Structure 1
Amino acid sequence: MSMAQCRVIRGGVAFHGKQGMDYFAGVSAQSADSTGICMHMLVLPPGGKAKPHYHERHETAIFQLEGSTSFYHGPTLEFLDHVAEGDYVYIPAGVPHQPFNPTDKVARALIARTDPNEQESVVLLPESMSRI
């Protein structure tokens, strides 16, 4: 019987996601051989925004570490919520969303998904759906 190993991932490598945002890779199938979760840090600069998208079969949990952001969500991105430092956000699988930073300060958030491969389940929506 082979046993999985604990891993420490130091100073995650930066990457640009297909959603149009910059991440620092943390725990994932690629970095830790995880099989059911990934967790990264998102850095969203002032005025930064994601492309409208959803995650096909995977839930997302977010903790806003620093700054504040907003996001549109819903079938036609008709709902708007504001996220303050210290807030948690839950996004169900398959729900379209578009986060953005309407402030003049950098925002940082920890993002965890039930997909060990960060970019595998990202489905981009037409830019014409963008609310920003």
Structure 2
Amino acid sequence: MKLDGGITKAGAAYHGRELNILGQRYFPKASCEASFAFETNSEPGQFVPVHVHPTQDEFILVQEGQLELKLDGVWHTAKAGDLVRMPRGVPHGYFNKSDKPVRALFWVSPAGKLEALFEVLHNMSDVPAVIAASAAHDVDFLPPEASE
């Protein structure tokens, strides 16, 4: 798929679709074969447990707030303006352990099946089903102790 030129406005989603991924608000911002970008809005206490993208590099630009990240088994803190780089195959997870919301721009390259996965996960609440759907879309979650 080819990249459509244009502007995705602040607070809006590409093609107008806001997604609910386990209670977090995701706004797809751009999509093409080479890359998929999306904004996340994480309330205090929300997180995505440690997982692996075997075929994608992933990036996070923290726009507001602070994220705690576990990257390849090591804890890091990313604040507004920081760019997080997560190479393919490296286990990672992000956690809002603060008392304030976090807004961040994520993107993966290549796009792979991530946008399709988000469509499947929209409003899904059954965690085992989320894990199975993720594995079918090239995202592998590690056991819960990996996020400790």
TM-score tier, shorter chain, comes to: 0.7 to 0.9
Q: Match of 1:129, SS?
A: helix
Q: Equivalent residues in 2 for 1:1-132 (5 A)?
A: 5-9=4-8, 11-12=12-13, 13-17=17-21, 21-28=24-31, 34-74=32-72, 77=73, 79-116=74-111, 117-118=113-114, 119=117, 120-131=137-148
1:46 to partner: Cα distance: 0.6
Alpha-carbon distance in 1 for matches of 2:101, 2:89: 28
The CA RMSD measured in Å over matched residues stands at 2.2
Deviation at 1:56, TM superposition (A): 1.2
CA 1:71–1:4 in 2, change beyond 3 Å: closer, same or farther?
A: closer
Q: 1:21 to 1:51 in 2, by over 3 A?
A: farther
CA distance, structure 1, for counterparts of residue 24 and residue 53 of structure 2: 15
Q: How far 1:55 sits from its partner (Å)? A: 0.8
The secondary structure found in structure 2 opposite 1:51 is strand
Q: Following TM superposition, where does structure 1 have runs of at least 4 consecutive aligned residues deviating by more than 6 angstroms?
A: none
- Structure 1 pair 114–122 and aligned structure 2 pair: CA distance change class (3 A): same
Report SS of the residue matched to 1:64.
Answer: strand
Indicate the residue corresponding to 2:129 in structure 1: none
Identity among equivalent positions (%) equals 25
The TM-score normalised by the length of structure 2 is 0.71
Mapped to 1, the partners of 2:97 and 2:3 lie a distance apart of: 42
Query: SS of 1:121's equivalent?
Result: coil
By percentage of residues, which structure has more helix?
A: 2
What's the offset of the Cα at 1:14?
A: 2.0
Report the count of equivalent residues.
120
Q: CA deviation at 1:7?
A: 4.8
TM-score, normalised via structure 1 length: 0.79
Contact 2:24 2:43 in 1 (8 A): no
Q: Which runs of 5+ in 2 are unaligned?
A: 118-136
What stretches of structure 1 of length at least 5 have no aligned partner? Answer: 29-33
1:107 and 1:36, CA in 2 relative to 1: closer, same or farther beyond 3 A?
A: same
Alpha-carbon offset, residue 92 of structure 1: 0.4
